[in-house]
Structure 1
Amino acid sequence: MTMALPPLRPGLSPDLLYPADAAYMARTDLEQTRMLGYTPFNLDAVTSLLMGLLGMRAAVRHVSGATDQILTLISRAGLEVAEDMRLYESSEQAERHADDLVAKGCRLFWPYPLRDGRFPDENHLVPPALWRRLNAKERLSDLVDARFLPPRDIGPAEDLVARPFARPVFIKAGGGIATGWGYAVRHCHDEATYTEAVQWFTGLGDKAGLVVVEDAVNVEHCWCATVAVTESDIHYAGAAEQLFSAPARQFGSLVDAANPLPEAGVALALSIAERARRLGFLGLAGFDIGAAADGSLYVFDPNFRFNSSTPQVLLHDDAARRVGASVSLSFNDGSPHPFGEVARSIVGPIDDGWFVPTRLIDGAHLPAAEGLSRVTGFLLADSMTQAQERQSLLTRILRD
C-alpha cells in the first residue's frame, strides 16, 4: 500500500493571503476579459484555481473542478481543502452564491473584474476602479521608479499609424482593461512585425484605448515575484522564472533553487507592493521583473491579482522538501479520456510526490470543455532535464 504523503504547507498561510472575510468569486463575462483571449471555457475554469490555499474562506467554484474524485486527488497530493465551497453550474447560480456571501458580510476577490456594475464597490475586497488603476500598464510609473522601467512611449492606438519603426519594441494594451497571457502584447522586431501589430491594435477600434510602446530591452531571466499585501504589511512568497516560447509568449514557470530572483529584485517587488498597499490594495499580486546581463532590473507588468505561477510558488518549498527535489516545472495539459481514466493515470505520479495537481477539471461536467479534461499543477525534479522528462511522460500518460 502506498504511504500517504505528508501534508503540504504553503509558504504563506491563508491568513496572510486574504482577509478572513474575503470570498473567492471569479465567474465574470467575456466583456470583462475581451483583451485576454478568454473563451467560455476559461470563464468557468478560472474558478477552480487556488484550491487548497484559502483555508476556511468561502469560494464559488464550477462543479467541473470540484467533484468528489477531484477533491480526493487533491487531498491525496497533500493539499487540505477546508474552504466553504459553493458550487454552481450556470453564471446565474454563481452570482446568486455571491449575493448570499455578500449578505453574510463577505467581500469578493477575483483575478479579473466581475460583470460590470453587478456588485457595489463595498462588496469587493479591492474596488474595481482601484484594480484597474493599479493594473493599467501606462500607470506603471506611479508604482515603479523610472530607472527600473524600459524606455516607453504612451498614446492612443491610432497614433501608431504615424509612428515609424525605429528599433525592436513591445506594443502593449494600456488602460484599465484586464490583460494577461501575452494576448494583448506584440513583439515587433522588424518593419513587418511592427506593421502587423499596428494593424491589430488599430483594428480593435474603441476597444484599443491607450497603448504602451516599450523598448525591447535584453534580459537574461525574467521572474514573476509573488507578494501578499495585508492592511499592515507586505509578505514575499517567492518567484517563478518565466519560460517563453517566443518574446511575450509564456508557456510555463520554473522554480529553481539555483536561480532565484536576486535580492534587489525582491526589494523592488516589496517596494511596488507597499505603494499599492497605501492606495488600499489587499491580497495576492505578482510583478514581472527581468534581470539584464549587467545586473540591471526592469519591471515589465503590474499584476495585482494572483497569477498562474502563484500556487507553484506558494507550495514549491514544501513539495520539493518532501521528495528531496530542487526544481519545479509547471504543467498544464488536456486529455480526451473520461476523467476516471485520467485520475487513474495520474495517481501514481501524485503518490510518488513528483506531481502536485493544483487544478483538475472534469470535462464531462463543463460543456465548453468540448470533452477535454484538464490537468494543471507542477512537477518536482532534481534538474530541469529531469523535470522536462517527467513533463513528457505525464503528457504521454494523459494523451495515450
Structure 2
Amino acid sequence: MTTQDLRLTIAAELEKTRARTTALTEAVDEADLIRQHSPLMSPLIWDLAHVANQEELWLVRDVGGRDPVRQDIDELYDAFKYARKDRPALPLLDPAQARAYVAQVRDKALDVLDHATFDPQRRLLDNGFAFGMIVQHEQQHDETMLATHQLRIGDPVLNAPPPPPSQQRVTGEVFIPGGRFTMGTDTDVWALDNERPAHTVDVPAFHIDAAPVTNGQYQEFIAAGGYDSPQWWSSRGWAYRQKAGLVAPLYWQRDDSGWHVRQFGRINPINLDEPVVHVCYFEAEAFANWAGKRLPTEAEWEKAARFDPATGRSRRFPWGDETPEPRHANLGQRHLSPAPVGAYPEGASPAGVHQMIGDVWEWLASDFDPYPGFTAFPYREYSEVFFGGDYKMLRGGSFGTDASAARSTFRNWDHPIRRQIFSGFRLARDA
C-alpha cells in the first residue's frame, strides 16, 4: 500500500468511526447525554470527550508534536483516574463544549495525517499504527455507548433493520483434531499488544459447538430449574446468583404469554434461534455444567476460528484473510440484535464452526494473561495492568463491534459478573 493509499484508508476509518460516535450521541437529548444510566457506565458525554482526548494525546501531541488543545482536562478524561460511577460528579465539558473540542481535535489530527510519513523506524507511525489504535479505541467506546443505550429507559432512539434470517440449519458440534497451531499475530499491522507475539500452541483434540447457545436452548436451562440448582454453579457463581437475584439473562422479562426481551427501548418476543446475549460468565459456566460440557479455552476458541488444516496456517478471520463484509458476519451496529444461527454460512471457519465473529462476545474458560514474550506497547494501561486480575476472556466480537476490532486474534476481557456487555457463549468438551 502506498503512503497516499494508507492516508486515504486511515481517513476513511476515522470518518466512519466518528459518524458512528456522532449518531450515538446525537440520538438523545442533552439531558440523556449527561445522565448516568447505570453506575456501571459513564455518561455518554464523558465517552464523547474521552475519545477526543485520547486522539489529542496520541495523534496531535505525540505523533504530530503539536501544542495541546486542552491539557487542563486530561485528568477528567483519564479512564484510570476516576471510576465510572464517580464521573457524573466531575466538572465535565458540557455538550456544546465537548462537541467543539471533538471537532477541534479532529481538525488537528487530520492535519497530522496529511503530513505523516509512516516511518517504519518509529513504531507508532509504522503502517499508521497510532491512527489504527485510535480508530479501534473510539470504536470500542462506541460499543460501550451502545451498551449504555441499551441500559437507558425511555422511548426508542436507535433504529436498524433486523438481521438476516437463517440460511442454513446449524446444529451439533465439530471435532477439532489435536496438534499445533499459530496463536496470536506478528503480521496484523493494527493488532494491539496483547495479541502479540505469534506463538505456537499444542492443543489436544476437542469438540466445539458449531453455533453459539441460543435463546431456545437457554430457555430449556431456565425451565429445568437451572437458576435454582446450586449443583450447576461454581461456589462463586452461586453466591453471585443469590446476591444479584439472577433468574434469566439481563433484559428478559416474563408474562402470561412467555418470555420477552427489552431491546433498545422496545419489548420484543424472544427469538428462539438467536444466540443468547447479556449473560455473565457464571451463567455461561452453569449452563455448560448442566449441559454436560464446558466453556472452551482461549486457545481452543482461536484454533477453531482460525486454523486451516488444508494449509496448516492460521487465518485472519474464520473465512480467510478478507476484510469482513455483510455476508460474513453481524458487525458494526448494522443490526441491533444477534442474527439467528445459520445466518452467515459464508463466515464459517474451515472446520465448519459458525458465527465466531460478530453477534455475541463469547465467554471463555481462560483468564486474561499475557502471551509468551509479551511487550507492552505503546502504554502499560491498555493490557498489562489487567493481567492476573479477576477477568475472564471474551472473543469474537458482537453485533455492536466494528470490523476494525473483530479480528480472530482480538482479545477482550471483563469481570465474570458483567452482563450489560453483549456477551453470550458456545460450548466445548474433551475429545
TM-score category (smaller protein): under 0.3
More strand per residue: 1 or 2?
1
TM-score, length of structure 2 as denominator length: 0.23
The TM-score, its normalising length taken from structure 1, stands at 0.24
